Amino acid sequence: MTDIVSLSTQQIQAFLLALLRTGGFVAAAPALSHRFVPVPVKIGLSLALAWALTPQIASALPNAPEHLASFAVLGLRETITGVIIGFVFSLLFAGLQAAGEVVGLQVGFGLANVYDTTSEQQVGVLAQFELILGMLLFFAMDGHHLMLRAFFDSYRVIGLDGLVLGDAGLESLLRISGTLFVIAIKAAAPVLAAVFLTEVALGIAARTVPQMNVFIVGFPLKIGVGLFMLAGSLPLFSAFMGKVLLNLSTSLDGLLAALGTR
């Protein structure tokens, strides 16, 4: 084990830079960034990752900046790199939560909200269900391993002081951000299609049987159809999660390559 007292200036700077990147990663990564994770755990994880990375990146550290302002700029780049990696994976859960909100609104659960202690706001019950289910499948499919692999690969692709926020990197980041809406639409598609067909059937029934009150009949019918379709599509949800994780991992590799291109 490296003696802390005998650390060189280069090793100390490498540790601080690694701590900034790991801190940004932990602050933005799904699950790790949630409020229910104690702050000491987040700090301890950041310190442990930074300490483990220090021996590998100390030799790759560029010329040590002589001024504090130069080191601060370098530290800011490292923090942004960590935040970007965590942000890409957090898009998955933001998309699932958005899908749950849309499904709940269409089914009739627009007013059925619960208090989310992590975000300190009211969220739909189906949005919370989608989020929790997605989080469980994320860990069951070793999504956290993909997330850590992407983080460690960032040192190989971008390295230290290699972040470039150019046109290619920003364009790739915006393209990946757009996957949030794609994830939301695909996750909600089965229920939305079933509810849409139910609305069409109710419209036809209203024209053929004017005496029937479609509003009274349609409300419980849409809830039943929506919940039935949601339960029926659960076996396909794991396959959907697997494809999304693979696509996010591939997109992140391309993003890191674009951010590391000068």
Kindly list the domain boundaries of the chain, sorted by start residue: 9-259
Q: With a cut of 60, say whether residue 262 has pLDDT above it.
A: no
Ranges 56-60, 130-134, 174-178: which has the least confidence: 56-60
Ranges 131-145, 158-172, 181-195: which has the least confidence: 158-172
Between CA 59 and CA 168 the distance in angstroms is: 29
Instruction: Provide mean pLDDT across the span 131-160.
Output: 86
pLDDT tens sequence across 94-134: 888 888 888 888 887 766 665 565 556 667 778 888 888 88
Torsion-angle region of 108 (φ positive above 0: left; ψ -120 to 50: alpha; else: beta) = left
pLDDT tens sequence across 187-226: 888 899 998 998 888 888 888 877 777 777 778 888 888 8
56 compared with 184, residue with greater pLDDT: 184
**Could you count the other beta carbons within 10 Å of the beta carbon of residue 54?**
22
Q: With a cut of 50, say whether residue 1 has pLDDT above it.
A: no
Residue 207, CA distances (Å) to 51, 62, 198, 221 in order: 71, 75, 14, 18
Is the distance from CB of 145 to CB of 19 less than 8 angstroms? no
Element (H, E) at 171: helix 167-177
Predicted TM-score (pTM) of this structure:
0.81
209 compared with 145, residue with greater pLDDT: 145
Element (H, E) at 122: strand 121-124
Given this model, what pLDDT does residue 121 score? 65
Given this model, what pLDDT does residue 22 score? 92
**Could you count the other beta carbons within 10 Å of the beta carbon of residue 197?**
12
Dihedral sign, CA of 185, 191, 194, 197?
negative
Best CA proximity match to 134, nearest among 238, 233, 250, 226: 238
Is the distance from CB of 85 to CB of 252 less than 8 angstroms? yes
- On the 0-12 / 13-18 / 19+ scale of CB atoms within 10 A, 67 is exposed
